[in-house]
Structure 1
Amino acid sequence: MDLTSTPSVARRQPAKRKKKPPACDSCKARRVLCHPQPEGIPCPRCAEKGIICKTTPVIRGRPRKPSEEVVSPSASDPGPSSSGHNESLNESIVTIRPHLELSDAPELPPELVKHLFECLDHLPEWRHPLFAGEKLKAAITSVSWQLNLLPLQSRVLASCVCALSASISFHSTIIGPSDIKSFTDHSVFFLGADLRTYGVRRAPVYRALYERAFTLACEARIHIDVSEDNAASCFFLDVLERLSAATTRPWAVAYVSHSRILAGRREAAEPHDQLIWNGFIMSEALAATARRTPVLFTYNDQLLMSGSEPPPLEQLLQSLQGMFQASKKVSSVIFSAIRPYMFHVTLLARDLYEKITGDYARRHPMAEAAVIQFLSSLSILQSIVTLILTQPEFSVAGDPLFYESPVQSPLIRRESDNVRACMFAMAVGFTGLALSLYKEIERRVSTDPPTMQNRWIQERMGTIQRQVHEMASLAAGDIARALQLLPSLPHFSHLDLSTIQDWADFYLADAAKTGSIDPARVKIFEIFITSFKTFGYSFEIPRSGELIERMEAYIAPATLSPSSALAQLFPLDNGWTGVFNINQLESDLISYDSGPTLGFQ
């Protein structure tokens, strides 16, 4: 037997070629040659661009036919989804909206994506300094509005945009069948319209789009990789979570961390960007204050992104008074005051947490000196807001929530948008701080009942409580004015839900204590009712029906005839009829719009 025959045969057999791994998702989307690496090492192109190198397996072969026993997805049986990260989107839509066709598609239809990007132009988040909106639009236009063809991190950002824009979209895929043709449709958007049904109808798709963006963001690890796109995505996700009143804010932490690193790498921001940064930093500070959590932007972050510290508040107030005495235009005064004003609001929000409402401060007795000093600063803020809002050149007295001009709509206001936005920001800054202080003092008083040992402490706390309540009453009037100052519905749609509800509760409790018809309070309740009905266009507000009913019950007597109003408010029992001057009361009720508060004993 030839011992060499077997090896020679083996040598003659050709060696099997190893199959090349499939291309990664990024190279496949860009249609370029990919050089896959073993053991999870990113390909050279992804490594050069610093993006995640991921390969999604492609299922080949004829799909298995469904069994006859399997019931098609419906509202009662949504069934499983096999679309990976689209599972939450598909299940939510199939479960609640079976008439939609998105459940069969792994991505949003290009026509819907294009519409949602058009809605983005009306949102205030479009102006964020880290969001390159035009660049993202150009990228998604180049791939015919197909999200799956974008690089992963750009795809995450585009998904966040779609989720945020869904809060104001009138597309039939979002809100179901409707007659809305545009944002200027006055048959739908008019003063006093109850738009709450749209918020209820859009809620399931809105939540599904948010879950979709959330899942994609976690897969792309945008909270780890620092870039402007990732920072903008984290910001959008924080806004989406802020609207749901979430207690934890993981995306906000990543957003602030990315912003801090990026700001350290760049040159000093331009004055315009500094102004915009001041607004977004103040917005984050107020959101943290409302939740009794730390302000994430530090003082050094504030200086780095929004410029040097402005003069003290007292000097700012004196400067504004001098400008108005010099007959300067309101718009020029507002533009010169808005940056230092927002800077000081953020400083006060940080002080409020560290000295009064924070976790450490709550474990110790109330720092009365800190409260008194904070009240003094609030008083100056309120003086600045009142000084601007009462100027005759731009007075909002009697100004409706929306213009009724046939060429304008509540969604698009071009005239004086910037001025109104600045005035709105100033009012919201003051009222947000006042409400947070009021709620904290009320918590302290309710959890520390009076005893003989702390009688003097209780008396001082009572004095502080009355002062804070008076400041909150002033702020409640200013928040009503702020609602009238909104440049557009998208600005209104992104107020803090809990803050508006808290102000309504505050005013209702205040009205119950006084037990009288206050013309100013009636007007404020009317503004709140209109606001809740308008706010419902974007979001489903759980307590809106209850709050509206309570406010309408308060203002109902003012719309009745004098005798009916008197009988409804104060039922007359035996011995009461001779106490009142009926004619005088009827006269007061008829002229309640301009008359004094009617206090009945």
Structure 2
Amino acid sequence: MSTQRIRQKKVPKPPACDTCKAKRVLCLPQPNGAPCPRCVDKNNVCTTTPIRRGRPAKNSEPRRAEKPELAMSQMPTPSSSSSMTILSPQVYESLDESLGLTPEIVEHFFDCFERMSSSMNPVVLNSSLKRTIQTAAFQISLLPTETRVLALVIVALGSLVSFHESVLGPGPRPASPADISFFAFASSHTDVLINCGARRAPTCRALHAAALRAAWDTGVMLNVSIENAASCFLLDTLESNGPSGLSRPWATAYMSHVRALAPMWRTPNITPPQSSNWAGFLMAEALLSTRGRKPISVTPGDQILLCGPEPRSLEQFLAWVQASAEKPGARMLFDSMKSYSFHVTQLARELWETVIGDHVRLAPLPESAVIHLLSSLSLIHAIHTHLMSRVDALCPDSRSADATAFCRNDEWSEDRAVRSCAYGIAMGFVGLVLPLYRELSYRVGLLANAEPRASASVALARERLGLLAAQARGMAGLAVHELAHAVRLLRWYYAPIHGHTLAEYARFALEEAESVPVLEPERVRDLATIGAQLRTVGYSLDLLSAPDTLQLLSRLERYIDSHTPAMAMDEFVTLGSADLTSPEGNNHSELERLEDFGLPPLGHDLSWTDDILLVTLPV
């Protein structure tokens, strides 16, 4: 039998990575998709774009079917507000290439974005955009591709709080970031704020569509980089302002990019950089998903990778907070935020996996999971109470907050940081309680609609679940007060991300108030505070296209007017008509009498603050 020489086919050399190819240096590709040594040494993201060489095959274009079974235009699409449905061919072709983004207006939008809390996200801070856009003299066309997409997204987000005439058009608008007279006047004239949101809506929609088109064309969901991660995060922030869709594709891509980039940001056995900042944004991400009953994209591994080792348990955390009560200053408060945010994120994930998730609704609700969540929320509220006591001690007079209508992040003081921590602490508690109560109420309704001849076990389960729902309802009532307390403490305007949470709590508080014949003045005051804060969302968002919110605001105003003492209202009107800049209008004793009647200090006490803050919180 003759032997034949077997020729071994030469294995082609793997292509060079994109970074080495761009720098025209030798690349040593590694097997199994591992990064090349040069990218590892330079701490770069090692990606390789495949390039097809040689002539294309003949007749490579697929033959078009003469009689397709179903045309693309006839295929059913889900009724979702996701950004994927916006980029239809018609919208894609009709977008105006020239949006009038001159360097001056781009710089203005970037300045507005710097006054929003979204700009403090670590991926935004670590991107090279701020340095690059200044080098390019705020000319977006001169930026690299991925950086240009991020710049367009920031422009779209900054337009939500812009006071520029090209955005708001003719009509009342603030003249500067510290225009106190405008916000003092608008606080008692709801139509002024609502008209601002309606006038800015066309510009915001056009900028949003341009950012989506650029992101889709560039493929920011697929290519891993810090700029693309920041773009996905901010696009999800923009999408969260509208109606709730079926999914959050930009948030999923954002977390996917962060997981790929995180190993390069930390060193083993060392606390990750910006771990406290990451803990807060992961908490906001989890609460945003919980609010819309969507899966939590933050995993336990993400928390450990970005925030460090798991902190002490809730019981140990509460004991530490109680032991630190005698320590003066704000250090104890700042040191608590990372652990507090970590535990809230864990509870949000547990809430989805065991109570409110769609997969959980396929089976009877496990009472043990509900009891565990209620116990954990009781511990969270106890920790919340101790931390807020420290905030009240550090900020005894909420009217002394030295805020501005639009506060830049580099202008913050310790006082503002303490007040922001207070709002984050409150949102961590209130963001969990109401979704739990709504789900328990839904389950009780299902059992109530069961067959009249249901077994004794079903009746017992309905009774036990009703008791758990009543306990969650009591916690939701506490959450209303804590939310109003945090809003009054800050004396700042928040817009627009938290508008959905405010609307849900305003609706719950109003339902509770209408169910009782007499309401305590403090609860009326809480209801008025949340309603006043909800009205300010109209400065950024188009509430005219949200009739449910307008109807809710109308109901709130009617209820508060009918449950406010006539004498207090007369005094409030008199004080509200006083000159806000004159010393005669600053009568502290008169304001204290108003607060005794449960009236929110809307327009009058604005004269005692230097400014009003308008920022965006991602919850």
Which of 110, 116, 120 does residue 109 from structure 2 map onto? 116
Q: Closer, same or farther in 2 for the Cα pair 1:398/1:132, shift >3 Å? A: closer
Distance 1:296 1:257 in 2: 9
What TM-score, normalized by structure 2, do the two folds share? 0.71
Aligned residues: 478
- Cα 1:245–1:314 change in 2 (3 A) is farther
Relative contact order (C-alpha < 8 Å, sep 6+): which is higher? 2
Match for residue 466 of structure 2 among 462, 465, 471: 462
1:549 alignment partner in structure 2: 554
Contact kept, 8 Å, 1:396 with 1:484, in 2: the verdict is no
Structure 1 residue 157, shift from structure 2 partner? 0.4
Tell me if the contact between 2:152 and 2:211 (Cα under 8 Å) persists in the aligned partners: yes
Q: Deviations over 1:236-257 (max 9, x none)?
A: 1011111114322111111000
Distance 1:89-1:111 versus aligned 2 partners, 3 A rule: farther
Number of the residue aligned with 1:302:
303
1:238 & 1:245 partners in 2: Cα distance?
12
Write out per-residue CA displacement over residues 468-511 of structure 1, whole angstroms, 9 at most, x where no aligned residue.
1111111111111232344853xx21433322111011011101
Task: Quote the offset at 1:558 in angstroms.
Answer: 4.0
Aligned equivalents of 2:89 and 2:148: distance in 1?
13
Please report how far the alpha carbon of residue 143 of structure 1 lies from its aligned counterpart in structure 2 after TM superposition: 2.7
Change (3 A) 1:456 1:86: closer
How far 1:563 moved relative to its partner?
13
Say whether residues 1:164 and 2:169 are aligned partners. no
Say if 2:452 is the partner of 1:424: no
Whether the 8 Å contact between 2:314 and 2:376 is mirrored in structure 1 is: yes
Q: How far apart in 1 are the matches of 2:522 and 2:152?
A: 44
Distance, in Å, in 1 between the alignment partners of 2:228 and 2:598 is 52
CA drift at 1:266: 3.2
In structure 2, the partner of 1:336 is 335
CA deviation string 1:20-67 (max 9, x = no partner)? xxxxxxxxxxxxxxxxxxxxxxxxxxxx997999xxxxxxxxxxxxxx
Alpha-carbon RMSD across the aligned residues, in angstroms, is 3.2
- The letter for the 1-side match of 2:336 is A
1:536 partner letter: G
Aligned to 1:81: none
Corresponding position of 2:184 = 190
Q: How does 1:431-580 map to 2 (within 5 A)?
A: 431-449=430-448, 451=452, 452-453=454-455, 454-486=458-490, 488-489=492-493, 492-541=494-543, 542=546, 543-561=548-566
Change (3 A) 1:410 1:106: closer
CA positional deviation for 1:560: 4.0
Match in the other structure for 2:225? 227
Contact conserved, 1:129 with 1:276, CA < 8 A, in 2? yes
User: Match of 2:519, SS?
Assistant: coil
Q: Conserved in 2, the CA contact under 8 Å of 1:86 and 1:106? A: no
Amino acid at match of 2:216: C
Distance in 2 between residues matched to 1:421 and 1:280, nearest whole Å: 13
Query: Structure 1: which 5+ runs fail to align?
Result: 1-47, 54-83, 93-102, 566-588, 595-601
1:239 match: secondary structure: helix
Encode CA deviations 1:112-168: one digit per residue, 9 max, x unaligned. Answer: 111101112111111111114783133223333221221211110000100111111
Amino acid at match of 2:564: T
SS at structure 1 position matched to 2:240? helix
Shift of 1:304: 0.3
Structure exhibiting the larger radius of gyration computed from Cα positions = 1
Please state if 1:216 is matched with 2:214: yes
2:141 touches 2:148 (CA, 8 Å); kept in 1?
yes
SS of the residue corresponding to residue 187 of structure 1 reads helix
Corresponding residue for residue 319 of structure 2: 318
Q: Report what 2:282 is aligned to.
A: 281
CA–CA distance in structure 2, aligned partners of residues 496 and 561 of structure 1 = 32
Q: TM-score, normalised by structure 1?
A: 0.73
Instruction: Give the aligned partner of residue 56 of structure 1.
Output: none
Change (3 A) 1:591 1:106: closer
Aligned position for 1:76: none
Q: Distance in 1 between matches of 2:514 and 2:280?
A: 36
One-letter code aligned to 1:355: T
Pair 487,50 (structure 1): closer, same or farther in 2 beyond 3 Å: farther
Deviation at 1:557, TM superposition (A): 3.3
Q: Provide closer, same or farther for how the CA distance between residues 563 and 345 of structure 1 changes in structure 2, counting only shifts above 3 A.
A: closer
Change (3 A) 1:383 1:143: same
CA deviations over 1:291-345 (Å, ceiling 9, x no partner): 1111102101110011110000111111111111x2422x111111110000000
The yes-or-no answer on 1:246 pairing with 2:253 is no
Contact kept? 1:203, 1:540, Cα under 8 Å: yes
- Distance in 1 of aligned mates of 2:92 and 2:178: 30
Which aligned pairs between 1:8-407 and structure 2 lie closer than 5 A? 105=98, 108-132=101-125, 135-177=128-170, 178=172, 180-190=174-184, 192-193=187-188, 194=190, 195-247=193-245, 248-268=247-267, 273-324=274-325, 326-329=326-329, 331-391=330-390, 393-394=392-393, 399=398, 403=401
User: Structure 1 counterpart of 2:366, which letter?
Assistant: A
Structure 1 residue 420: Cα displacement = 1.4
Q: Secondary structure at the match of 1:359?
A: coil
Give, in whole Å, the separation in 2 of the partners of 1:52 and 1:158. 28
Greater Cα offset, 363-372 or 476-485: 476-485
Per-residue deviation, residues 164-192 of structure 1 (Å, max 9, x unmatched)? 11111111111113553211011212383
- Percent same amino acid at aligned positions? 33
CA contact (8 A) 1:85 1:212 kept: no
Give the letter aligned to residue 522 of structure 2: A
Q: Which amino acid aligns with 2:124?
A: F
Indicate if the aligned counterparts of 2:272 and 2:306 stay in contact, CA closer than 8 A: no
Q: Deviations over 1:399-447 (max 9, x none)?
A: 35x95x7xx5343384412111112111101100001101111111122
How much does 1:232 deviate?
A: 0.5
Deviation of 1:532 (Å): 1.9
Q: Which runs of 5+ in 2 are unaligned?
A: 1-45, 52-86, 571-593, 600-619
Query: Residue 553 and residue 227 in structure 1: after superposition, are their counterparts in 2 closer, same or farther (change >3 A)?
Result: same
Moved more, 441-450 or 214-223: 441-450
For residues 182-218 of structure 1, give each alpha carbon's deviation from its aligned partner in whole angstroms, at most 9, with x where no partner exists. Answer: 1101121238354222111111111111111011000
Do the aligned residues in 2 keep the contact of 1:89 with 1:209 (CA within 8 Å)?
Answer: no
CA distance in structure 1 between the aligned counterparts of 2:308 and 2:356, rounded to whole angstroms: 27
1:346-374 deviation line (CA, Å, top 9, x unaligned): 00011111111112211111110110110
- Structure 1 Cα separation of the partners of residues 361 and 507 of structure 2: 24
> Which residue pairs with 1:8 in the alignment?
none
Change in 2 beyond 3 A, CA 1:205/1:52: farther
Deviations, residues 236-286 of structure 1 (Å, cap 9, x unaligned)? 101111111432211111100000000123324756510111011111100
